[in-house]
Chains A and B, each alone.
Chain A
Amino acid sequence: MQADRRRINAPAGGTAPPTFTFADHPDLLRRPTRTRKPDEHRKIFLRTGIVPSASGSAYYEVPPAKPAPSTGSLVPTSSSLKITCTVHGPRPLPRNAAFSPNLLLSTHVKFAPFATRQRRGYVRDASERDLGVHLETALRGVIIGDRWPKSGCEVVITVLEGEEDGWFGEGREKGGGWGMMSVLAECITVASAALVDAGIDCVDLVSGGTAALVKGEGGEGEAVVLDPAPAEHEVTAACVVAYLQSRDEITEMWMKGDAGDSTEGLMDQAVRAAVMSRTVLVEAVKEGLKVGGDVQPVNGAPKGGEGKGKDVDMTG
């Protein structure tokens, strides 16, 4: 890995204030617990068309849990994901590029330097490039590439706030890269929304979902949870899928860890998570289509029963 010589880099280290152990603050060093049910997904905020200069864009957010546990510390106990995605294209390939009968898709996933507790560099590191490859695989399966010969399309994702890899109290070595799994799932969803916003033809809306096999309460037994927050669990295996609900297809699957017998169940739960995130995706896309018409309330209550199990007319 080459060093970043073009900038004066900040010292490697944390972006959050340091935490010190105090006897009178036992809560501080207690692992946060999952308050949701195992098959409950976190709430999502998704909006398209946030970057006017891009062909398409979307913003994805998982707000922190409403009743923030008051530990008296400045350190947030749980992360809140924030991802922006911009799509540039389809646009003509550079003059010197070879002929391509299909749309050339390129994906960039980059964490902002302050996105995670451990500071990120300005140059994409291996894990970010890896996420980019996964994302490309997921999107390649939905885009109807042969409608755009000799064109290119760039999907640029910036993770403004990333999922934690594990509970910070365990030390940074313990983090097994589980946060990446959730981030990938959300990258897929947000990229799908941005692609629709850009008006790129897709066979379906692709949505990402994660499920994890975690150790049960007290370290006994194992349970499958949807949409895991790695800080809350001791994860043994996790699975990400990019799922097309209308076609019942999976364009991308990434399994990590040893799930043993419950591999199938893990996958099913991941698909289920994808189906759940798709509901938000559909609503966001519909909302984006209504630009110019009556304005949707910013944080209007979602209309019950609308868009469930219905196909979306992709007139992005």
Chain B
Amino acid sequence: MQRVKNIDYDEDDVYSEEEEYHEEPSYTDEDRESFTALTPVVRAELQESGLQASDKEIEEALWHYYWHVGKSVAYLKNSRTPRPQQPQQGKKDKEKPKSKFDQAAEESAKKAGCMIPFPSTASDWFQGISWSVIPLGIQGELVPAFAAYPRPQLLGGSSKLAKLAEERRKKAAASQAAPAAPSGALGSLDRLSKSKDVKENVLPPTMPEPRKYPIRQKREPTPPPKEPSPEPEEATEDLPDLRASPTEFAKTMATHAAPSQVAEAAETHMDSIFRSSSNEDPFKGPSPDDTVMRAQWHSKGINKHARKPSDGLLIKKTEALKLEPKIKSKGLDVPKLWAEGRASRKSAAAFVVIGHVDHGKSTLMGRLLLDTGAVAQRDIDKYAALLIPHTFVSMLINARRYQKQATELNKSSFALAWVMDTGSEERERGITVDIAQHPFSTLTTDFTVLDAPGHRDFVPNMLAGASMADLAVLVVDANQLESGMKGQTREHILLAKACGLERVVVAVNKLDATTPTAWDENTFQSVRSGVQKLLTSVGFQDPNISFVPCSGLSGTNVVNPAPSTGPTAWVASTSGTILQQLESSPPTSPPEELVKAPLRLQITDVFRGSITNPISVSGRLAAGNVQIGDTVLTQPSGEKAIVKGIEISAEPREWAVAGELVTLHLSDIDPVHLRAGDVLCSVDKPVAIVRNFVAQVTAMEALLPQGVDVHVGRLHVPGSVAALISTVDANGEVVRKKPRVVKGGDTANVKVSLQEGAPLAVGDRIILRSGGSTIAAGQVDRTGS
């Protein structure tokens, strides 16, 4: 990553150092005169000592030493004697672009009247200067302070620097044979070391030895040692060689050694340990496994199987196998079959159980299923047994619910509810979260129970349930009518109506717990009048409403009629049991046109049915028919799938028609393309994906152009009320165009736009919710923008 901004330098910001500094020293005429005069002198001097130098070198030396012949000669001698390549190197230094540091150093050197190879020792510095005038007393010995120091270098163990060091090390090793010119950056530093060599060669005796042990030698009080303390230099001279060869143990650590040497070391080590002298490679021959394999290869049995595939037939076979056998459609005429079997078939109905939270919906349904034999008592007992460890749950319930009743009863009450509440979260919290469906059948009708959650947080799930049902069972707690009327009893009634349900059975529950006495008829009557008023105000017709007093927990008047004696004597005269009421409500048979219409199925749930059926969807067939082998299209993903199997009430079927709650096993589709709320439709006439539509809705609260959640059965899409087109009266006459607000209770045509496309058709029932409450419900009038 580049951390520095790529700054665009101006042309004149970047100056070339070479242009400025890489110049030959220009000599004046005066200089040249001096050169001609002095060069022969210097050459003569040099030739005395048997050395040669070119004119240019001599001139350079003279120029740098200000025409001092002695110094120039000394310099040239120095540059000649120790290393033959020295002058050449000096030249190279010249040619290199000088750094500013070097430039400054040179400047100061010139000012000081000094020479180019920097004198680093005192003797160099003061060479040629007479000391005679200085009195002996004040003459001092000058000891180089840092002569012996190694050149400090910035190195370290940190990875980058270590790498650099490693590289440098390698370079040094490579250049050992042929020393190259010093790198530019260290030019001036290198010069220091050069001058040191010069000193050693020119004036060896004048340089006093650096004195060691300075402090201890000053101190004399201790008795003098027998022999003078050895000079370190001498000591190093006769130092014995102390390097030992490594022991066997140390050899094992020999990481520096070449591989062969390591092997050798290891070998000797192993030899010394195990005293085995065999040097045979144990991996030379074939391994025992190889031997066995080879022997088996000769056997006829293996060859028979192994030789066959070589003729290429198998490839074809496997290719043929790759194609999954397609599910073949039997090509049934489903509407005809349906029409033929209509008389012999039992009628079917699905009902949704609605009501306020904790009014006992799930318990009532559990009782219904238990008493009709759809669920065995054994299962209920199992749930009851499971409940026992959940004492905290029952304690919670104690506080919340029937405080008068025994704990045992509480447990059993939940055991009933657990028939429907299968999720662990549902069971732990004691409330229903998602809709649950369970089939049961009586002598005349096949029923499907859709248990809807009562809690207001899960209204969307309740909507999904209501959209699949034919009728509703409204459960009202006789003791807590008021809480329900304010809460979800009211909202659920509104939503049930909005979903198009016409018939409702009101189960007045928990009559066995009324105060002051159980099965109080007055309580029932007051509840009845209250709920009836509400239902009629919403729009349910009186004949479609029936009231049943019951107790879900004890099971009185659910399936079995209440005893005709005792406090429940009045019950029998009021109405039949809940089951009777459900059976008496005429199950709507779908019209033939609907069965022949193109397929529409809103997916309620996508799940993994079993290993053989990896992808299954469930939902209510809203229109059309489907049979095994049909190709269906999912919207909005637009993927095709093949129907592998059909189940209704956990029984396999060949086909299904509109109005039935089915489970379809699909194949040839990835589960990512299927979501709850998607629509399965026929390939020929797929449902359109809609982003804008006009709907006629009845407002429950003041409706403004605002953001809303649009619910269509299981599907819910965020969107907004784009415009209020007009308010209409009950007959569909336009009352007012472009109203600013639609008041609660009014009906209006509104334009709704969705954030993402949803499969919608004209006539679909929509519910607009916002902020957790329902604000309007209605039907799609026309789609498109």
Q: Residues of A with Cβ closer than 8 Å to B?
A: 40-47, 49-50, 52, 55-56, 59, 61-64, 80, 82, 87, 89-91, 144, 147-148, 153, 198-201, 203-204, 245-248, 261, 264-265, 268, 272, 275-277, 279-280, 283, 287-293, 295-299, 302, 304, 308-309, 311-316
Q: List 22 A-B contacts (CB under 8 A).
A: A44-B243, A47-B253, A55-B157, A59-B253, A61-B247, A61-B249, A90-B156, A198-B157, A199-B157, A201-B152, A201-B156, A245-B232, A246-B149, A268-B229, A292-B169, A295-B257, A299-B246, A299-B251, A308-B239, A313-B151, A315-B155, A316-B165
Q: What residues of chain B lie closer than 8 Å to A248, measured between beta carbons? A: 212-213, 232
A77 to chain B, nearest CB (A): 16
Q: B241 to A314, Cβ gap below 8 A? A: no
Interface residue tally for chain B (C-beta within 8 Å): 53
Residue on B nearest A312 in the bound complex, by CB: B150
Residue on A nearest B167 in the bound complex, by CB: A292
Q: B258 to A295, Cβ gap below 8 A? A: yes
- Alpha-carbon separation in the docked complex, A55 to B149 (Å): 25
Residue A43 contacts which of B170, B242, B261 (CB distance < 8 angstroms)?
A: B242
Q: B250 to A316, Cβ gap below 8 A? A: no
Q: What residues of chain A lie closer than 8 Å to B153, measured between beta carbons? A: 201, 314-315
- Alpha-carbon separation in the docked complex, A62 to B148 (Å): 31
- Alpha-carbon separation in the docked complex, A258 to B156 (Å): 42
Q: B222 to A59, Cβ gap below 8 A? A: no
Q: What residues of chain B lie closer than 8 Å to A43, measured between beta carbons? A: 242-244
Q: Residues of B with Cβ closer than 8 Å to A?
A: 148-158, 161-162, 165-166, 168-170, 172-173, 212-213, 216, 222-223, 225, 229-230, 232-233, 235-237, 239-247, 249-251, 253-258, 261, 265
Known contacts being A90-B156, A292-B170, A292-B173, is A199 close to B161, with CB within 8 Å?
yes
A152 to chain B, nearest CB (A): 11
Q: What residues of chain A lie closer than 8 Å to B169, measured between beta carbons? A: 289, 291-292, 315
Q: How many cross-chain pairs have Cβ atoms below 8 Å apart between A and B? A: 162
Q: B235 to A275, Cβ gap below 8 A? A: yes
- Alpha-carbon separation in the docked complex, A308 to B234 (Å): 11
Given pairs A246-B148, A279-B241, 12 additional interface contacts (CB within 8 A): A41-B240, A42-B244, A45-B243, A63-B247, A82-B250, A148-B156, A199-B162, A275-B239, A292-B170, A292-B173, A302-B243, A309-B232
Q: B155 to A276, Cβ gap below 8 A? A: no
A-B pairs, top 6 by smallest CB distance, nearest first, are: A43-B244, A299-B245, A293-B173, A55-B157, A309-B236, A198-B157
Q: What residues of chain A lie closer than 8 Å to B258, measured between beta carbons? A: 295
Q: B150 to A311, Cβ gap below 8 A? A: yes
Q: What residues of chain A lie closer than 8 Å to B250, measured between beta carbons? A: 45, 47, 59, 61, 82
- Alpha-carbon separation in the docked complex, A309 to B229 (Å): 17
Q: A280 to B235, Cβ gap below 8 A? A: no
Q: A61 to B157, Cβ gap below 8 A? A: no
Q: B162 to A55, Cβ gap below 8 A? A: yes
Q: B247 to A45, Cβ gap below 8 A? A: yes
Q: What residues of chain B lie closer than 8 Å to A293, measured between beta carbons? A: 170, 173
- Alpha-carbon separation in the docked complex, A302 to B246 (Å): 13
- Alpha-carbon separation in the docked complex, A290 to B258 (Å): 13
- Alpha-carbon separation in the docked complex, A64 to B248 (Å): 12
Residue on A nearest B222 in the bound complex, by CB: A264
B608 to chain A, nearest CB (A): 48
Q: A44 to B242, Cβ gap below 8 A? A: yes
Q: B247 to A268, Cβ gap below 8 A? A: no
Q: A298 to B265, Cβ gap below 8 A? A: yes
B203 to chain A, nearest CB (A): 21
Q: What residues of chain B lie closer than 8 Å to A280, measured between beta carbons? A: 242-243
B588 to chain A, nearest CB (A): 72
Residue A45 contacts which of B225, B241, B245 (CB distance < 8 angstroms)?
A: B245
